[in-house]
Chains A and B, each alone.
Chain A
Amino acid sequence: MTNPSLYAPREPIFPRRVSGFFRRLKWWIMGVTLAIYYLTPFIRWDRGPNLPDQAVLIDLASRRFYFFWIEIWPHEFYFVAGLLIMAGLGLFLFTSALGRVWCGYTCPQTVWTDLFILVERWIEGDRNARVRLHHAPWSFRKWRLRLTKWVVWLLIAVATGGAWVFYFTDAPQLARDLVSLNAAPVAYITIAILTLTTFVFGGFMREQVCIYMCPWPRIQAAMMDPDTITVAYREWRGEPRGKGNVRKRDRVAAEQAAKEAQAAGPGQARYAPTPYPNPKLQIGGAPQAEAATNEHGDCIDCMACVNVCPMGIDIRDGQQMECITCALCIDACDDVMDKIGKPRGLIDYMALSDEPAERAGGAPKPIWRHVLRPRTIVYTALWSCIGLALLYGLFIRSDIELTVSPQRNPTYVVQSDGSIRNIYDIRLRNKQGEARQFHLSLTSDALLRIELEGRQGQLNVPVPADTTVLQRVYVTARPQDAAATADRTDLRFWVEDLTTGDRAGRATTFNGRE
């Protein structure tokens, strides 16, 4: 019995290089997502003379969010909330259909970790070299390699943090200011924090972020069911695992020995492989005595799938919380299957519900039968409803808007002729790039007179471009009007752009002498 420990030190992971369809797909997605991240702030978008010309801009100072042709004001934040809900539902949809594809391909933690491992491999070599370096004592060479790696990581981290701040202000100007040390301190502080987190998360914490910090692996179990397409090991085909038949084993071993002898070169000590790392794997495994028989499955226990896994798991143990379905083990295994002349797909994207049929020799259900099921249909429906509602909201929203705040201290004022006056503060918003004249009016069942403070009988208010104007409005009921003696009277303010005919209204009440 080993003594259970509260805290287990991290087992370092040295993912081996792999090539194949999914690895290529991951390179492409990495390139595209990084390009989007780094280039978006530099896309220009002409909005007219008084507005910023950055296509995507979060302007915190003047509280505007610009996204290409859409401009969001703070009171329209429900658009952002709606997009966040859609992002959440989209994650549910993809997870229930295709497992953790988000984690495996597009999650920033995955993308940057992948990038950092690429750098690591480039500087320190592939898995075996890295394992060797890890166990080697600190020498000049080790220091040189480590420092080079850290410097490159740091450069990537600075670029990552540096790109983020461009989303919040004019990017080309900020780039100049950053270089000439004229940018605001908050920009440098933000860059410093994001540099540090990128460096630590991508370089050192890696899969630990996914396993210990990220809540999504814990939630995703509730999104998945046996119909979810996920990365799995065809146990019925692979087990009992062994080194295949003796002839093939001998041939492979001979080739391997020759290759390693060639790689090691004359006169150099061969690297001694580490002992079998996971005792669990020997359950149902292949003792040497069995290797001679022909009762083995296709798995030759070569550990290729384990060696390439960036999460450090063995997919053959079944579904695990740590698996991010990045499919690198599929590429690695397919490669091995090709070499030993077995069909691909020992490790594959598959639905667990197909397992019994396949084991019995039948064909799996077509993919669309797995993807199209009540759960995914409900998610898609919800997602579409919110999306359509947001689109509808986007198209019906007016370029002019008003909010009405009735003065409640006091609720009404008696004038010397006995008439009753209410005061309202009306905010008029002009969301367009040019100045406009807004005409104010009101409708009510009762007869009421409207007056604008400081406008001498005028009912037009000029509102400059992209601005909110606060206008105080007096509404008066003469003593004989119904509104003067009633407790409350409904009324509605209207604002209209007389040149374009755009119109918006707000309901409020008029307080009379009770």
Chain B
Amino acid sequence: MSDKKVDQETGVETTGHSWDGIEELNNPLPRWWLWTLYATIIWGVGYTIAYPAWPMISGATAGVLGYSTRGEVVQDIIDHDAKNSALVADLLETDIATLAPGDDLHRYAVARGGSVFRAQCSQCHGSGAAGAKGYPNLLDDAWLWGGDVENIAYSVRHGIRNLTDLDARYSEMPAFDELLEDAEIDAVVEYVVSLSAPEFDADIAAEGAVIYADNCSACHGENAMGDRELGAPNLSDAIWLYGGDRATLETTVRQARFGVMPAWGQRLSEEDVRAVSVYVHSLGGGE
């Protein structure tokens, strides 16, 4: 720019930009402002050397201070584990059946178990532990294999009907589709309905009672109260894992049910198994 324009009034050079006859003066920036700018540039260069900053093809520069947010999280976790180590040791030694609400250890187990439950168990049993069709509700008072804290811990540790843990709780209902006539299946369904529902056909139910006694009572009990040794559900109460209407019951009788739970003892640490058992027991359904 050879021809520099100068503003007549102030004697300051203009930038040559003009809007509606108003020209922009080329006043210098305030000195302190410039120095602040230079200081931030120097600081910025130093920062990118000291901290991870520049993206590379895989990853980024590490920075000479060796800092990373991930490393900070890892350190936080180590710190927390160290802080809780006494409680973890206690949890491993103490008989969890003796823990009472209000104890420090109980509070710790419930808090820890709650996070384990939300991470590992809520997919099937729901975040509030209310279960779903085929996945037991852990809040009520009906337990297929027992609801005291030791039985809960056993179920968690070894799982149900899985083939990976030899100690898993195991039982299998036969599929009665091949074993009974259609009319017999209808009759036994009507008998089971009669145990808990107010409306049923008494004649058919009476026929079904005979069939039940011959085929079902071995596992579900003579009074249909179920058997916790076999995980056989109580058929006379108000709780149905798969549904208590006639169509569902018929499907259950014809095809049988086979709910599987993994052996969490193979995936979780012992303290997590204990903690989540205490947590489930504390939800309101524990015996």
Contact = CB atoms under 8 A, between A and B. Distances in A.
A410 B128 contact: yes
A421 B141 CA distance: 11
Given A414-B140, A474-B284, A453 B238 contact: no
A414 B140 CA distance: 6
B55 interface: no
Interface in A375-424: 407, 409-410, 413-418, 421, 423
Contacts of B71: none
A416 B139 CA distance: 11
Centre residue among A3, A407, A416, A417 by max chain B CB count within 10 A: A416
A415 B128 contact: no
Nearest to A421: B284
A453 B106 CA distance: 13
A82 interface: no
B124 interface: no
Nearest to A410: B130
Given A453-B101, A454-B102, A474-B284, A413 B237 contact: no
Contacts, number: 51
State the main secondary structure of chain B at its contact with A.
Answer: loop
For chain A, give the interface size range.
Answer: 10 to 19
A407 B234 CA distance: 27
Nearest to B237: A416
B142 interface: yes
Nearest to A469: B102
Given A410-B139, A421-B284, A423-B284, A416 B234 contact: yes
Interface of B: 9-10, 100-102, 126-128, 130, 137, 139-142, 234, 237-239, 282, 284-285
B202 to A, nearest CB: 21
A453 B282 CA distance: 9
B130 A413 contact: yes
Interface of A: 3, 407, 409-410, 413-418, 421, 423, 453-454, 472, 474, 479
Contacts of B102: 454
Contacts of B238: 414-418, 479
Q: List the 7 closest A-B pairs by CB distance, nearest first.
A: A409-B128, A454-B101, A418-B238, A416-B237, A410-B130, A413-B139, A416-B142
A479 B128 CA distance: 23
Nearest to B100: A454
B285 A413 contact: yes
Contacts of B10: 3
A58 to B, nearest CB: 29
A263 to B, nearest CB: 43
Contacts of A417: 237-238
26 contacts: A3-B10, A409-B126, A410-B126, A410-B128, A410-B130, A413-B137, A413-B139, A413-B140, A413-B285, A414-B137, A414-B140, A414-B238, A414-B239, A415-B141, A415-B142, A416-B140, A416-B234, A417-B238, A421-B139, A421-B284, A423-B284, A453-B101, A454-B101, A454-B102, A472-B284, A479-B238
A3 B137 CA distance: 83
A417 B141 CA distance: 9
B128 A453 contact: no
Contacts of B141: 415-416
Contacts of A479: 238
Given A453-B101, A454-B101, A415 B140 contact: yes
B104 to A, nearest CB: 14
A231 B119 CA distance: 71
A450 to B, nearest CB: 13
A414 B285 CA distance: 11
B24 to A, nearest CB: 15
A407 B9 CA distance: 76
A415 B284 CA distance: 11
Contacts of B137: 413-414
A409 B130 contact: yes
Contacts of A472: 284
A3 B25 CA distance: 15
A415 B239 CA distance: 7
Nearest to B196: A418
Contacts of B130: 409-410, 413
